Structures are given as structure tokens and as C-alpha cells.
Homo-oligomer: A and B are copies of this chain.
């Protein structure tokens, strides 16, 4: 199967009207009046963002999910996407089918269409890129630079599950002592992060700044603090942890060091946002109405950088953020 067959057999059925059946070089998009378009782009590289040789539907599904998470952080509603796929000649029909099934799954879940893209052959590692297009009512995009002193800091979902998901992929389970149900939970968090599009509307209205957590809570909080020119003070005791992660943490010889991993590792794709503290009750209500955990984890202060407190004492981090998740299929 060559690139033209891959496109016509597997990708063309996923195209929306603007994609022109993927028979053209370009896609057409008729913007709706009164809306701004939001564009975001993320790339995944084999052996770096996903394990070498471990494909299945989760590969393309995750590519869309991490890009949708960027849109969610902007308060945007997805419209469509363009795809770029660099593949070695060795991939076969199963790969193509899984790849399109993964796209289809996410398209249905989050209501977006394939607009176009291209496929090329590479002698090297698989590299896949998606450009996502979303929209917001004009002027309402949530940026990174609007956090104000006194704002509350919120985070969606729970942190650390994706980290443990990856751990269960690379380490023998007997060493980890995690039960099968929890393994399933962690791997789902790693392979299928849920873009928090559910809360986009409230973010547009009430968030002063937002970022999605792809490099780790502390690293991404730092990006937000730098853009907004403020300090973010976070209480580690308030970090939301799933029951499954809690079970794992309690087995660790050094609970605090293990917890720090959760704050340094990426892949959570939860949202970190700031909002006027007058909205604290509102977000608690929204959380319960949407069935989406939203947790207040700190306060925006004058100054710069990120402070993480434990029982009101500053704790230190050797390094923040991960540039690589693994090399030669070992976690780094």
C-alpha cells in the first residue's frame, strides 16, 4: 500500500466537507462570522513521545487528544484538523487501519473532521503532526498572560496517572505491585488523555489565564508565571491525586519524592488555570455540574517563578519538566 492508497482508502472517509474528499492539495474553511480561529500544532516522534513499535489505535488517537487539549486550554471548540504522517516503508495494513480507527474514534467523541494533510515515507522514525483548528467568539481566547495577583490557581482532573501508565509499560509489573484494574486506569490516562473541552465555555468567561499540562505541572506553571509576570504559589497537599495513584504512593519508601515525580512528569494533559477568587464557588459548582474534578491548588502572588509548599514550607525541585520521555525504550 502506498501513500495514495492510504489516503484514499483509510483517510478520505474521515474528511469533512472542507476537506474536499482529500482529493485536492488544500482544504477550504469558511469561518463563521464573529468567531476567531485558534490554531495549534503538536508533533509526536516514535521513541520519544510514544514507545518504538507500540502502535495500535492509541497512536493517532493520542495525537489528536494532545492537540485538542491545547484547544481546550484556549477555551476553543474544535472544528477540524490537518494531518502529516512520515512513515517507514515497513508499516503494513494493520498500521493503516489502526491509525484511521484511532482518528475516527476521536472525531466522533469530540466532533471534528479531517481537513487534509500529507503522508510521506521516511527512512527514520515515525513522525506524526496534527494542526488543529478551533474557534472562539471573537476576542474571547484564553491566553497565558492574564494571571493577576490574588487569583486562585485551579487544576482539572488528577495528576500522576499518566506517569504511572508509562511506568507500567516499561517496568515489570511484579516490581510495581499494582493491581490489574489500576494498571488499566493508568494506561488509559497515558494513552487516552481526555481533552477538557467540557469546561471551555467557563474558561472563556472566567479564567484569566490557562495552559495545558504537557511538560509537568511545575514546568507549565512556570511558563504561565513567566507569560503573566507573576508568582504561582502551589500547595502540594492540595494536588488532586486519584485513588489508584494514592494506593501506589502509599507503597513508596519516600512518599514525598514519589509525589514530586507527579509534579515533574508531563503527559497529564490536564488544565492549569487562574481565575478571580470571587469565582471560587462558581468553579466548585461547575465541577459538580460537569462531573469534572476541578481543584484549587494555590494562589497567584506578586513576584516571579513557582513556589511549591508542603505544610506551608517551600520544597525544592532539582529539575522541572521533561524534555524526553524515553530513549531506546527506557524511561529517562
- Copies per complex of this chain: 2
Task: Report the minimal beta-carbon distance from A175 to chain B, rounded to whole angstroms.
Answer: 27
Is A123 touching B327 in the complex (CB atoms < 8 A)? yes
Contact with B along A37-52 (1 / 0, CB 8 A): 1111111111111000
Is A131 touching B82 in the complex (CB atoms < 8 A)? yes
Is A43 touching B120 in the complex (CB atoms < 8 A)? yes
Is A121 touching B324 in the complex (CB atoms < 8 A)? yes
Task: Report the minimal beta-carbon distance from A212 to chain B, rounded to whole angstroms.
Answer: 7
Binds B, one of A23-31, A95-103, A256-264: A23-31
CA–CA, A251 to B42, complex, Å?
A: 49
| Contacting residues, chain B, for A46 (C-beta < 8 A) | 124
Task: Report the minimal beta-carbon distance from A32 to chain B, rounded to whole angstroms.
Answer: 9
Q: Which of A59-80 contact B (CB under 8 A)?
A: 70-71, 73-74, 76
Across the interface, A323 reaches (CB within 8 A) one of B2, B33, B116, B125, namely B2
CA–CA, A141 to B20, complex, Å?
A: 12
Known: A37-B29, A37-B37, A49-B120. A129 touches B24 (CB 8 A): no
Query: A122 at the A/B interface (Cβ < 8 Å)?
Result: yes
Is A28 touching B36 in the complex (CB atoms < 8 A)? yes
Query: A240 at the A/B interface (Cβ < 8 Å)?
Result: no
Is B37 touching A70 in the complex (CB atoms < 8 A)? no
Minimal Cβ-Cβ distance residue in B for A220: B25
Known: A211-B25, A212-B25, A323-B3. A82 touches B121 (CB 8 A): no
| Contacting residues, chain B, for A31 (C-beta < 8 A) | 31, 35-37
A2, A116, A120, A144: which has the most chain B beta carbons within 10 Å? A120
Is B43 touching A37 in the complex (CB atoms < 8 A)? no
A70, A122, A145: which has the most chain B beta carbons within 10 Å? A122
Is A118 touching B26 in the complex (CB atoms < 8 A)? no
Minimal Cβ-Cβ distance residue in B for A226: B23
| Contacting residues, chain B, for A314 (C-beta < 8 A) | none
| Contacting residues, chain B, for A331 (C-beta < 8 A) | none
Known: A36-B30, A76-B26. A42 touches B129 (CB 8 A): no
Minimal Cβ-Cβ distance residue in B for A124: B124
| Contacting residues, chain B, for A324 (C-beta < 8 A) | 121
| Contacting residues, chain B, for A145 (C-beta < 8 A) | 23-24
Known: A23-B227, A71-B26. A84 touches B116 (CB 8 A): no
Is A115 touching B39 in the complex (CB atoms < 8 A)? yes
Across the interface, A23 reaches (CB within 8 A) one of B33, B41, B86, B144, namely B144
Across the interface, A120 reaches (CB within 8 A) one of B48, B76, B133, namely B48
Is B74 touching A25 in the complex (CB atoms < 8 A)? yes
Query: A194 at the A/B interface (Cβ < 8 Å)?
Result: no
7 of the cross-chain contacts (CB-CB < 8 Å) are A26-B73, A27-B40, A28-B39, A29-B38, A31-B35, A39-B116, A124-B125
Add 18 more A-B contacts to A25-B40, A123-B124, A124-B125 (CB < 8 A).
A20-B143, A23-B144, A23-B145, A25-B74, A26-B39, A26-B73, A26-B74, A27-B40, A28-B39, A28-B141, A37-B37, A39-B116, A40-B116, A41-B84, A41-B118, A45-B124, A47-B122, A48-B123
